[in-house]
Structure 1
């Protein structure tokens, strides 16, 4: 019986990848908290996850817009979250006069929340892999 690893870990792998991309965006916001005119960004995680899962299910893997014109060209991999669903954040506090929309405390909270969710996704991924290893080792003697 063939084992489809994409079915086993695809969802959790995608979630970890998107959480990583979101962590980078939030870290960029925090790094630019004092940059005049900087506009805070974020990834709409739910929308990005839905699109990534839809792309995984499509026969072309979401790469239908890429055409290889030579056999030595690299094939396109799945898009990263940073290539779509980026949005500018609407600030909750009034402008301080420099045009920067980063709210440091809110960004720190988002960073921590995303980090916890990232860790949960990694734990789910680990449990899937451990379960597969256990199943393979118990059937190895037959």
Structure 2
């Protein structure tokens, strides 16, 4: 029974993890709005989700032949789908963070995250009702 429940929730769990990592990245962009030469980054959500559920369409991670090889400096599990945001207006200090774009992306991602949580809660409530028979 546990594996059936895990299989039913795997997609939602993957989407929720991706949304949480994207939220951290957007918060980092906002926090570094005044850092010279900081380049705003974002995750291609659609490609990362497709890659995570097995429909690999993007770049693959590099493999190493020795334990002494350097690993990726990106700490996200979806590092292959992280890119730099397009620069809409150049800043004198080389920073590419546009606060309006970042705030909008942050709010949109927050709404998607809350919707995912609500969907998972309703799915679990439905399963609990089905199991208890009430």
Sort the TM-score into its range (normalised by shorter chain). 0.7 to 0.9
1:40 and 2:44 are equivalent in the alignment: no
Q: Which residue of 1 is the match for residue 82 of structure 2?
A: 86
1:22 and 2:22 are equivalent in the alignment: yes
Displacement of 1:3: 5.4
Change (3 A) 1:133 1:34: same
Displacement of 1:51: 0.6
User: Matched residue of 2:88: which SS?
Assistant: coil
TM-score (ref. length: structure 1): 0.75
Structure 2 gap segments, 5+ residues each: 56-62, 64-75
Question: Is this contact kept in 2: 1:8–1:128, CA < 8 A?
Answer: no
In 2: Cα distance, 1:34 partner to 1:87 partner:
20
Displacement of 1:5: 1.7
Equivalent pairs counted in the alignment come to 116
In 2: Cα distance, 1:18 partner to 1:28 partner:
15
Structure 1 gap segments, 5+ residues each: 56-64, 66-78
In 2: Cα distance, 1:16 partner to 1:23 partner:
10
Displacement of 1:114: 0.3
Structure whose CA Rg is larger:
1
Displacement of 1:11: 1.2
TM-score (ref. length: structure 2): 0.79
Question: Is this contact kept in 2: 1:36–1:99, CA < 8 A?
Answer: yes
